[in-house]
Structure 1
Amino acid sequence: MNALLVKICGLTSVRDAEACRDAGADLLGFIFHPASRRNAAPEMVRAVHAGKARKVGVFVEQGPDEVAALAEAAGLDFVQLHGGQDEAFCAALGAEFDPGRIVKVFWPERYAAVAELQPDLDRFAAHCSYYLFDAGTSGGGHGKSFDAGLLAGIAPARPWLLAGGLGPDNVAQALLAGPHGVDMSSGVESAPGTKDMEKVRRVIRLVRNGAPGRPADAE
């Protein structure tokens, strides 16, 4: 995986999603959490023509059966577990939904030391195809910047994406941490759930034109 992935999350309309697709986004993110200002309806998500991009559903509180049902209803390619779901949850979901289509989120700030994060990464490796490291200690889309120093010394067994307040002004710095992809929401918006397409295009240009390549052993 030498090409870095760009995920635009918190999409709330077909128009914005397809505009992000046309701008070159690899992953289109939709939040399935009623409490979120960016909550998306399954029928809207299904109506999006993703082309070569892939649809990712973000889940916080639903049970495994409901996640699998919503993934089917919305036509998702991946599900992102953004609520601290445990191994039993992941195993139950994996029985219905290919683990190769699961993104597991971690908040490194929850851990007192990297040595405490590494065992969790190792335990969940069998249950997902990607990790996502987010800022803060829960939730997402809050605009808080991620401290990449929190990842010093870890050895992720899966490709990983970086999230947390990313946008045109700081994505280049984030890439120095060596992620396999970046995930953006509030940093490319004009209002919650409404994407600023000039920011989206700028950030994708920055990733495509200025990103350091992944080493061969990261594939």
Structure 2
Amino acid sequence: MIIKVCGMTRAEDVEFCDALGIDLLGFIFYPESPRNVAQDWVAAQKPGRALKTGVFVRQGVEEIRAIATGAGLDLLQLHGGHTVEQCLALGPERVIKTMWPERYPTVERLASDMLLFAPACRAILLDSGKSGGGHGRSLLPKDLQRLQCPHPWYLAGGLGPHNLTVMKTTGAAGFDLNSGVESAPGIKDHEKIRHALQLLRGKP
């Protein structure tokens, strides 16, 4: 199981999550987000274990590549409706492709698109809402339990200690935590993160 904590804005949160055993740390490169961060600051963060994951909304391939190099990113999470071709250009082994289930009339149509993108990404992130991200809403477990897709997929949106036990039943290969483990936008609550990790992995 992959666990990601997104919206990192403080060095102490990076250090805490890395030491705790979080797999992916998300750094948002989107000026409209209250968790937007500067490339130079991200470059200065040196987690020992966790992979640095850049979150991009509408940037093109060349801009993403430049930021990835400058910030020292390991992975690229794409939220801007990027195409299969763009994902391939950035490197399937580095890309986490975001999709929004609420855009689809049926679970089967969603699964079809997931299979289309599977060769172009390492994982697919299913986010709540119909566009963008950061809505803080959760997807319905009963719908996700019907999802038939062999490619690894993660969940995002409104996840936290209050609902992770039930969301674990969906079959997701990973969980992307953000607002549900914060005390304020960009300020991580270490006890909530610790509790979330315990619920997901059973570790004290």
Same fold (TM over 0.5): yes
Identity of aligned residues (%): 49
CA contact 1:14–1:44 (8 Å) conserved in 2? no
Aligned to 1:153: 146
Task: Specify the code of the residue in structure 2 equivalent to 1:140.
Answer: G
Return 182-191 or 6-15, whichever deviates more.
6-15
Q: Which runs of 4+ in 1 moved over 3 A?
A: none
2:156 to 155, 163, 166: 163
Corresponding residue for 2:36?
Answer: 39
Q: How do 1:57-136 and structure 2 match up within 5 A?
A: 57-93=54-90, 98-136=91-129
Letter of the 1:128 counterpart: C
The higher relative CO (CA closer than 8 Å, separation ≥ 6) is in 1
The answer to whether structure 1 residue 7 and structure 2 residue 4 are counterparts is yes
In 1, the alpha carbon distance for the partners of 2:27 and 2:49 equals 17
Conservation of the 8 A alpha-carbon contact between 1:55 and 1:76: yes
Written as runs of structure 1 = structure 2, the 5 A alignment for 1:8-27 is 8-27=5-24
RMSD (Å), alpha carbons: 1.4
Distance in 2, matches of 1:87 and 1:201, equals: 36
Structure 2: distance between partners of 1:194 and 1:152: 32
Could you tell which deviates more after superposition, 14-23 or 33-42? 14-23
Q: Distance in 1 between matches of 2:159 and 2:177?
A: 6
Q: Which of 187, 190, 193 lines up with 1:200 in the alignment?
A: 193
Match of 1:190 in 2: 183
Give the Cα–Cα distance (whole angstroms) in 2 for the partners of residues 110 and 161 of structure 1: 17
C-alpha deviations, 1:104-148, integer Å up to 9, x for none? 011111001112112211211111010111111112222111212
Gaps of 5+ in 2: none
Superposition TM-score, scaled by structure 2 size? 0.94
Count of aligned pairs between the two proteins: 203
Alignment gaps of 5+ in structure 1:
211-219
The superposition leaves residues 171-209 of structure 1 with CA deviations (integer Å, 9 ceiling, x where unpaired) of 111101111111110000010011011111111111111
- In the superposition, the TM-score normalised over structure 1's length comes to 0.88
Aligned to 1:214: none
Amino acid at match of 1:35: E
The alignment partner of 1:6 has SS state of strand
Query: SS in structure 1 opposite 2:170?
Result: coil
Structure-2 change in CA distance of 1:145 and 1:61 (3 Å): same
